[in-house]
Amino acid sequence: MNERDGHALEGVVNTLCAGELRLPAAHVYADSVVQLERSALWIEGTPAAGKGIALLAAKHDPLIERFEGEVEVCDERWVVKRGKLDDPNARALRRTLDWLQPKPLGLATSAGFGDRLGLATPGHARALRAVLDEAPGREIAPIFAQQSIREMTRAGRSPEDVLTDATFGAFQAGWRGGLGADADHLKQPEDIDCCVAAGFTFFTIDPGDHVDSAADTDAPSAIQAKLERLPWDALECAPDDLVNRYAGQTEDLGDRRIELDAESIRRAAVKYGRAIAHVVRMARHLESRDVTHELEISVDETETPTSLAEHITIARELKRLGVRWMSLAPRFVGRFEKGIDYIGDLGGLERDLSGHAAIARALGPYKLSLHSGSDKFSVYPLIREATGGVVHLKTAGTSYLEALRVIARLDVDLLRRIGDFARARYERDRASYHVSAQLERVPPMTSLSDADLPELLEDIHARQVLHVTFGSCLDAFGEEIKAALRNNESAYEETLERHFKRHLEPFVRTISRA
């Protein structure tokens, strides 16, 4: 037990036990120590030897039975119970420490921190705490548990794994604020069910498979034919009803007026009608589960941008059909690719963001959600300005890339094997991602010196190749990667803290009003 750890726990023991109790020497994560009225909880152990949760309580305290583990009698009054960092104890911890229980976050500025390895939450929490400490009065509500079913499958994780790892990671880091938990990119009702059972509170419905992007360029005759084939029973109206409802109307957004003509309504219906029906089906299924939740709707993973008229049509139709949501992710103009900054005209994006944010205020309010949001450093000031902070930032694979940055310093041989394996898998694994990395721009690892390897994490082509092949690489090297990070957890936390401060700081800076 180091000096800081000892002082943290010694203070608790002295308070609870009048200094009479001596606990066995162990490494205690000082930030995790929580004193309750007549008990205390903390994480102890080491990554190499294994970590666990410990509870100090009076012998007959009912809290002892809430946790699973082995009881050690310390004296005639006090016991310590030590258990695993597993799902039952994570549930018990969330029940005991209310701030670790995921809850809806409302319209506050929020950020989702994806974690493909289950090891990143302490670094995420450190970054957020550092940013908020430097900006008193500002708020960013975190979602530490965030992963899509697609990513869970590729990483070999379950919804329980994701929430358990995030719970203990936040506890270890001493996070005391509220938090949410995002079941991301859900496509089927059964996806909702397993995430409800695990304890998630934020549900992102992804109807992207039902969006018809060809509607942007289809001939009028094709549009009419497709319009008649939409699932009108699920949409609870008829084609003429939809067109007549909106055609000729004007949406006044303050700085602009959006005219809704019959042709734009027909195309919007064809493009998004099946997606709207799917969202309604999923949202009603979620409502039937009778759990406290927030809903996000994501149409960002599509081929073509969401026009302002289309956004208005989507929002109005969902409201008509009784769907309630907290955030919506349109497909903005330009390219939001994985692991790299925005590609496109920032002036055009600024105008697009302003329009979508105005619609969210007028028809909500609800948050705009920025998906594929990691590493979009040029975009953060723009979306903060457009939304006034009513925004949700969603990141995912960048924490995995930062893990590889650490690996590059610790084990160059492992990074070489990962890099060559990723190059071999890229063409197959890229299929479900919007990326444009060119494999020929990523050199074989044998052609790079040890000193050159860390620079891979700065190259946009290498970043995307490594990003989208994470599932295959974890199948091949997951245990080696995790072992290296566990044995150097401070290095990983510090690396994540530096990286995520860059993501978060633009969302707490004072907005300039020129």
Mean pLDDT for back-to-back runs of 10 residues, the chain (514 residues): 53 67 74 92 90 94 97 88 97 98 98 97 98 96 96 95 98 97 97 98 97 97 98 96 93 90 96 98 97 97 94 98 98 96 98 97 97 97 98 96 97 97 97 92 94 94 97 97 96 98 94 53
Residues 6+ away with beta carbon under 8 Å from 215: 223, 226, 267, 268, 270, 271
The answer to whether 123 and 145 have CB atoms below 8 angstroms apart is no
B/e letters for 384-408, b = 16+ CB within 10 Å, e = fewer, are bbbbebbbbbbbbbbbbbbbbbbbb
Would you say residue 497 lies in a domain? no
Q: What pLDDT score does 512 carry?
A: 56
Would you say residue 385 lies in a domain? no
Would you say residue 146 lies in a domain? no
What single string gives the DSSP state of each residue in 281-323?
HHHHHHHHT----EEEEE--SSSS---HHHHHHHHHHHHHTT-
Domain carrying residue 64: 3-84
Reference 56, options 76, 36, 30; nearest CA is 36
Q: What pLDDT score does 234 carry?
A: 97
Tell me how crowded residue 247 is: count the other CB atoms within 10 A of its CB: 15
Would you say residue 69 lies in a domain? yes
Domain count, the chain: 1
With 0-12 CB in 10 A as exposed, 13-18 as middle and 19+ as buried, what is 418?
buried
Would you say residue 16 lies in a domain? yes
Round to whole Å and give the CA distance between 374 and 395.
5
Would you say residue 315 lies in a domain? no
With 0-12 CB in 10 A as exposed, 13-18 as middle and 19+ as buried, what is 432?
exposed
Q: What pLDDT score does 511 carry?
A: 61
Reference 93, options 29, 151, 42, 51; nearest CA is 42
List active site positions. Answer: 184, 296
What single string gives the DSSP state of each residue in 443-487?
--GGGS-GGGGGGGGG-HHHHHHHHHTHHHHHHHHHHHHHHHHHT
Would you say residue 152 lies in a domain? no
Q: What pLDDT score does 17 carry?
A: 66
Would you say residue 293 lies in a domain? no
